[in-house]
Amino acid sequence: MVRWEPGTRERLQAAALELFTERGFEQTTAADIAAAVGVSERTFFRHFPDKREVLFDGQSRLVDAVVEGLRAAPADAPALDVVAAGLRAGAELFPDDLRAWARLRRAVIAEHPALLERERHKMAGLARTMRAALVARGTSEPAATLAAESGSTVFTVAFGQWIAEGEHRSLAELQTAVLDDLRSLTGTASDRGTA
């Protein structure tokens, strides 16, 4: 007889998303989530350092993929192109059949400032890691920070479009389009009329 079922962590995440969706984040206690899975509250906090984090697992996989993409980019590529390569690698983690899940998750996050705060923090972590990877490749400051932060913004904007109702393009396509917008914003399209 098995003492504990495997996959406790994943079941906690699924139960949390479901309960948050039903009753809301604040109306769901950590003990509720644990009970739904049949474990103790203490076990919940052994898997996740805090209640919000149950929604933000898997972030490290994204970061790893992006950094891997950054590293694989040609050595002589401009910083923003290197970032673009990283984002493309990250986009592969989001095939189209994850859209529904991403939408549900986003809906929960959007309604609770504490969750929005955590999400921002996660994106900041992505930017920080990209910056470090750029610096390791030889990019100087503040170009590395600016490129990394811009990349993080592009990811966020493109992701928001990706989960929009009726959107059919892939995340990678959307990232490319947003990146083009960014280039035209700060480059040729905006260098006129500065006075």
Partner DNA sequence: TCTAGTGATGACAGCCGCTGACATGAGATC
Partner DNA sequence: GATCTCATGTCAGCGGCTGTCATCACTAGA
Quick one: what does residue 136 bind among a second copy, DNA, none, with the CB cut-off 5 to 8 Å set by partner type?
Answer: none
Name the E strands within 54-144: none
Q: Which of residues 62-121 bind a second copy (CB under 8 A)?
A: 74, 76-81, 113, 116-118, 120-121
Least separation in angstroms between residue 114's CB and DNA is: 9
On the CB side of 172, CA atoms within 13 Å amount to 12
* Cα end-to-end distance, the chain, whole Å: 77
189 sits near a second copy (criterion: CB under 8 A) = yes
* Closest to 51 measured CA to CA, from 117, 133, 125, 100: 117
Token code pair at residue 27: 């109306």
Q: Cβ atoms within 10 A of the Cβ of 191, count? A: 8
Which listed option, a second copy, DNA, none, makes contact with residue 60 (CB within 5 to 8 Å by class)? none
Binding to a second copy by CB under 8 A, coded x per residue (else -) over 119-158, reads: -xx--x-----------------xx-xxx-xx--xx--x-
Binding at 77: pick from DNA, a second copy, none (beta carbon under 5-8 Å per type): a second copy
Cβ(21)–Cβ(107) below 8 Å: yes
Query: And the tokens for 45?
Result: 């906090």
Catalog residues that contact a second copy under the rule CB under 8 A.
74, 76-81, 113, 116-118, 120-121, 124, 142-143, 145-147, 149-150, 153-154, 157, 178, 181-195
